[in-house]
Each structure stands twice: as structure tokens, then as C-alpha cells.
Amino acid sequence: MAKKSYQETPKLTDADLGKDPLLVSVMGDFDRARSYVKDNYQSVWEDCFKAYNAIRTRRGYSGVADDFIPEVFSIVESLKAAIAGSKPKFKYMPLDEEQEQDTEVLNALVDYYWSLNNMTEKMLNWVGDMIIYGNGVFMVTWDTTQPYICHIPLSDFFVDPTATHINRPEERGYAKYAGYRYLTSIEQLRAKKMFDVKTGELVDMYKNLDQINTTGTGSDESDDTDKTRKEQLLGSTLGKDASKNQIEIIEYYSAKKKIIIANRSVVIFEGDNPFQRKEKKVTDIIMVNGEPQKATHTIPGIQGFLPFAILRNYTDSNLFYARGDVEVLIPIQEALNDTSSQKRDNLAYALNNMWQIDPRFKHLAEQIESMPGAVFPIPKGALTPIDKQDVSPAADTEIARLTQAMRTASAADAAVQGVSQKFSRTTATEISAQLNQASTRFTTKVQNLEDEGFAQLARLLYKCIQIFVTKEIAVRITGKTGTMWKDYNPDRYTGEYQPRVILEASAQAEASQMAQAVQVAAQFGMNNPLVNQEVLLRKIFTSIFPDSPKDDIDELLTPPAPPIMGGDGQAVDPSLTQNPNTQVMPGGADAMINGTGAPAGATARGKATQSGTQGGGGKGTAVGNNPRVRASQPSTTLQNRVIPGR
């Protein structure tokens, strides 16, 4: 008889399961999915976890030193920050002209739900699993009034092994079932309630809780949960003991059913898949020739779907699970660790002197030590140091080569990691070519993530809104002018909308390309008499400020009104004109009032307003120079009578 492997999950027979057909069917699917993962992926995922956490897996050199250079950790964190370091932008676009074209409210509603879920940490875990293991798993559920997005550990997720994707139910290769497992307590299960539509009361959500064996989870050591396995790999002593009084829950979804099993032996919930909707007819009141008329339109149904969004890295069209960056980097990382360990051992060997002694004085060998001020009673030349070669330069070259190979393999070049190119013999042209190539690869990776994993997540959010939001709700829209509220009407947004998700990395790449195009256009178009300058500037400002409203662009392109000029060539005070929109040219106000601008005495108006002590007709401090006084003097009084003879 062949020896049974301790890693093999024991198969439950019909007798063990009490011959419950539903339990037999669900556990059969679960066992097939788990066996597929354990036979093909589990060991690779464990090695990837160890490499990320600086645990050696494949030693090629066994010496005194055992170095681990955390280059994998550096690359993973750099890629994670570049991809998930900012909030994605969701935009939904209609697929036909009969749908609601204005999706501003829908986009704002999804952004609002996103902020309620505190997605920063969840996004980092989701993207991190994709980089490390090749696959990240999100689950979208509905919690009373809003969607709830939770991160599912990859080792606790299971899916139909014959599937190739989980994008759209109508596409070939869509998974027949999927689910996940987790640990909980019997108290938490008893506290869970749900609303009974028939009675209108809250009732217990789970059944058969008294049949659950609470002394164990029902799984063997080879099928531990993700948390337990990681605790053991990191050296924790509480990983297995902590789950003794907990219950393993398997949550199973198909296109039509949702089934929950406790400890692999008791069905505690069975119901329809909540993520589906039947077709329904809605009656509206419309005005025809000024009279209200009833009109009926059909809201299409939503086919049952699996509420999981999978973010995959390097995919194969015939396989569901993808490869991660760490799997590719592990052999190079271990070679890097071996080289560093050899260098340290060589340095220790070179820095500790060893001696060669004349055989005639071998009886004094035990007395000879490398210490300052030592005196040995032997003739000159009887004791000589053994020559040792220092391999540090060659080791440093090899370490640099391996490090660069890891960055090249993962497209995490020096620019992405924030490392400057110092003391390098590489020319500027070569560096530019390398960065452009790495940028192209990284941009392609980000676009693939946007089109698959993030698009799946956006599609799930929209479908959950269609299913569970049945009444009008007020949606907060924040813009430049402040916060305003608009109503979301679920009957207006029917049918399929195409989601487009834009990550910050993709937006930056598009902005960089646009900036280069704008620079070339400005170089050839500015001040060119053959080019419409206003149209050119509008395109330039629109590309530089893509999020600015049209009113702001119009304001930038509106020339100021020309100032009113006086007869002496100076600007006239707008308050003296009848036009309330009169503008004063720069410096005009200072020139008129002799303010903080240029000295007014040198201008024509300044000369006209000089004081009386400076000459001219201005007002002075002397009484005789006062205009009112001088006007009443005889020499300046107008003669009203006619003098004969004149």
C-alpha cells in the first residue's frame, strides 16, 4: 500500500457527511478546488511569502554568514506604492443612446461608497498580493445601506479549477462556483440576525448551530488557514492554539445559490444568490399633448454573478491563477544572498591573520597569538602570515549585476524605486532608453490591471447599486464651487454601463505624453500667424489642467478690458468715467495719486500738480499763493465795466 502523504486532505465520505446531498456536493467542489491549489500553487506561494519576509528558501552556499539582502521587499513595496498609492478614478460610460448619458451622479455615488470603505489599506493588501503571489482577491457584499469591500487572503479563497477567469458570467471560461473560508466563534454566529420578508421581523440568520462540534475546525494540519500558516512561518507559537475554540466557515457561491457550511460538516445557511435581480416592469406618468399618460418600461434583470474581483499579474489565457513578480525573482534573490554571504565570509577570512611557522619551532605554535605588543622567541623569518585573496571587488560587481537583473525582470527600475544613477558609467542616452523601456512595461502592467481587476471591481459596485439601491437617494458632489447634492434615481440608470478606472500611475503617464505633445505644439504654434492663437492656447490649457472646469479656461483666455487713457497719455481714474467696468493699466493708479509707484513729479500730470513753493499753478503754503486769495486780488479780478477810450 502506498504511504499516504501528510499533505493530502482527507476526503469526507457520504457516511461522514450524513448523506446530505447538498453538503456532499459543496464539499466535493471545495475539496477539488483546494487540492488543485495545494498540488500546483501552495508551495510556490509559501516561498514567495518567505522571500518577501526575508526567509531563506534555496541556499546554494552554506557557510558561516547567512545574509539576506531585502531586494524583493524593496521591489514589492516600490511597485505597490506606484500602483496603489492614490485613489483611482471611476467613470461609467453608457453603451447605447437610449441610456442615461449623464453619469456624474453615478460616478459621485461610487466615489462616495469608495471613501466609506477606507480603501487605502485594503488597496495596498490587494495590490500586494497581486505582486507577491500573482493574485489578489476582493469580495463585494452589501451591508444594509452601502457596499462593503473586504480583502480575502489568497490561501483562503477557492474557485472552480476548470475556470479561466471571473470577469463576466456570459463569457466562456467563467467560474461555476467560488468562495472563501474564515474562522469565527459560535457566539458570533448566534448573534447574526436577518430580516424576514414574510414575517417582517428579525430572525436568526443561521440554522443547525447546535449540531456544530466546537472542539475543532474540522481541517487537518495540511489545510490550515492563511493566518495560521503565516503565523507558523513567522515563528508564532499561537497560530494553531488560537483556532482550537473557533469554527471554520466555508462560504460558497454559485450563479444561483449561497451556501454556508460550519466545520465542513453542518449546513448552517442555504439561500438564493443575493447578487442577482429579476426583470421587472415600471409604470411612469408622462405628458402627451399636455395630458398625463401612463407608460410602462422594462428594467432588465441581472444574471447571478460571483461577488469576487481578482487582480491578476502575469496571466495565462488558459489558467485562472497568475504568476507574481516574486516567483520570478526568487532564484536571483537567493543567488544575491549567496554572493553576499560569501563576501562576508571572505572578509572575515581576510581580516583574521593566519600564520605559517618554521617546523623547528612548532612547539611554540600554541603560544603565538595575533595581539599588539606580543614577543615571540623565534628568529626572523620563522613566522610569516599566510596570503589571502580579497574577493570584495568581484563580489560587489556580482551583487550589482544581480540587483540590476531583478529590477529589469520586474520593471522596477531605479527611477521607480527612487534610486539615483550615481557613479555609473552608463551614458545619459542609455539611461534614458532604459527608463523609457521600463516605463512602457510598467504602463502596460497598469493598463492591464485597470482593464481587468479594477474594471471587475467597478462592475461589481455598479451591479450592487442596481440591485440594492431601489429608492432615490441624495448624492454628495464635491467640486470647485463647493459641495452640492443631486438625486440618484435607480430607474434612470438601467442596463450595462462600461466602467473605466484610471489609476494615478496611468494618469501620470498620459499627462507626461500630453505634456511632450503640448511642448512641441507650442514650439511651432505660438506667435505663428498661420495658427489661431486662442484655439491653440485653449488646447494647451485644457491638456495642462484636465480637471479644470470650462469656465476657468474661459477666464484664462479672456483678455482684460483696455484702460481709458487721458489726453496727456496717462490712465484716467475709472471713478471719473461713466463706465463702471473701466480698468486702469498697471501703475496708472500710482501715477494718478502719487502713491507707491514711480515718482509723479517727472510726469506731465505730476508737473501740473506741483506745490506752490515749486512754481507753477499749484497750491502752496503761502497765503499769497492760495488760488482763492489770488483770484480776489486786483491784478486777477475780471473787469466787468467798459472803460471809455479802450
Count of C-beta atoms within a 10 Å radius of residue 527: 7
Chain centroid to CA 40: how far?
30
Q: What is the pLDDT of residue 529?
A: 84
State in Å, rounded, how far the first CA of the chain is from the last one: 154
Inter-CA distances, 151 with 128, 141, 175, Å: 11, 11, 19
* Nearest residue to 13 via CA among 24, 3, 4: 24
Which residue did the predictor score with more confidence, 355 or 600? 355
What is the mean predicted confidence (pLDDT) over 629-635?
48
Q: Write out pLDDT tens, residues 516-557.
A: 777 788 888 888 888 888 888 888 887 777 767 777 777 777
Buried b (16+ CB within 10 A) or exposed e, 126-151: bbbbbbbbbbbbbbbebeeeebebeb
Which residue did the predictor score with more confidence, 1 or 299? 299
Domain ranges of the chain: 21-57+107-325, 327-420, 503-548, 557-586
The three cell numbers locating residue 489:
434615481
219 pLDDT band (50/70/90 cuts)?
low
Residue 341 pLDDT exceeds 90: yes
Q: What is the pLDDT of residue 637?
A: 45
Which residue did the predictor score with more confidence, 240 or 334? 334
Q: Write out pLDDT tens, residues 550-595.
A: 777 777 778 776 666 665 666 666 566 555 555 555 555 555 554 4
Q: What is the pLDDT of residue 250?
A: 95
Residue 354 pLDDT exceeds 60: yes
Which residue did the predictor score with more confidence, 276 or 581? 276
Q: Write out pLDDT tens, residues 312-329.
A: 999 998 999 999 999 999
Spatial separation of the C-alpha atoms in residues 645 and 240, rounded to whole Å: 135
Residue 16 pLDDT exceeds 60: no
- Where do we find the cell 484655439? 535
% pLDDT > 90, the chain: 36
CB 582 within 8 A of CB 574: yes
Q: Write out pLDDT tens, residues 80-109.
A: 988 887 888 889 999 888 888 889 999 999
Q: Write out pLDDT tens, residues 108-121.
A: 999 999 989 988 88
3-state secondary structure of 150: strand
DSSP 425: -
CB 135 within 8 A of CB 155: no
Q: Which of 71-80, 385-394, 452-461 has the lowest mean pLDDT?
A: 385-394
pTM for the model stands at 0.73
Q: What is the pLDDT of residue 280?
A: 82
Which residue did the predictor score with more confidence, 481 or 66? 66
Q: What is the pLDDT of residue 571?
A: 64
Q: Write out pLDDT tens, residues 484-493.
A: 889 998 888 8
DSSP string of 45-104, one letter each residue: HHHHHHHHTT-----S--SS------HHHHHHHHHHHHHHSS--EEEEEESSTTS----H
* Nearest residue to 189 via CA among 231, 256, 247, 114: 247
Q: What is the pLDDT of residue 42?
A: 93
Q: What is the pLDDT of residue 418?
A: 44
Burial of 548: CB neighbours in 10 Å, binned 0-12, 13-18, 19+: middle
Residue 613 pLDDT exceeds 50: no
Most confident of 270-279, 296-305, 474-483, 583-592: 270-279
- Where do we find the cell 447578487? 275
CB 236 within 8 A of CB 229: no
Residue 142 pLDDT exceeds 70: yes
What is the mean predicted confidence (pLDDT) over 260-275?
93
605 pLDDT band (50/70/90 cuts)?
very low
Spatial separation of the C-alpha atoms in residues 163 and 179, rounded to whole Å: 13
Which residue did the predictor score with more confidence, 224 or 301? 301
Spatial separation of the C-alpha atoms in residues 385 and 367, rounded to whole Å: 16
194 pLDDT band (50/70/90 cuts)?
confident
**Which residues have a Cβ under 8 Å from the Cβ of 232 and sit 6 or more positions away?**
224, 239, 240
Q: What is the pLDDT of residue 368?
A: 79
Chain centroid to CA 289: how far?
52
| Average of per-residue pLDDT values in the chain | 79
Which residue did the predictor score with more confidence, 599 or 27? 27
Q: What is the pLDDT of residue 4?
A: 43
Q: What is the pLDDT of residue 540?
A: 82
Angle in degrees, CA 189, 192, 194, rounded to 5: 140
Residue 380 pLDDT exceeds 50: yes
Q: What is the pLDDT of residue 235?
A: 63
Q: Which of 232-236, 409-413, 475-479 has the lowest mean pLDDT?
A: 232-236
Q: What is the pLDDT of residue 460?
A: 94
CB 325 within 8 A of CB 76: yes
Residues in the chain: 646
Inter-CA distances, 119 with 85, 142, 382, 555, 605, Å: 11, 16, 74, 37, 66
Instruction: Find the DSSP H helices in 133-260.
Output: 186-191, 226-233
Q: Write out pLDDT tens, residues 439-466.
A: 677 888 888 899 999 999 999 999 999 9
DSSP E strands: which ranges in 83-192? 89-94, 135-143, 146-152, 157-159, 177-184
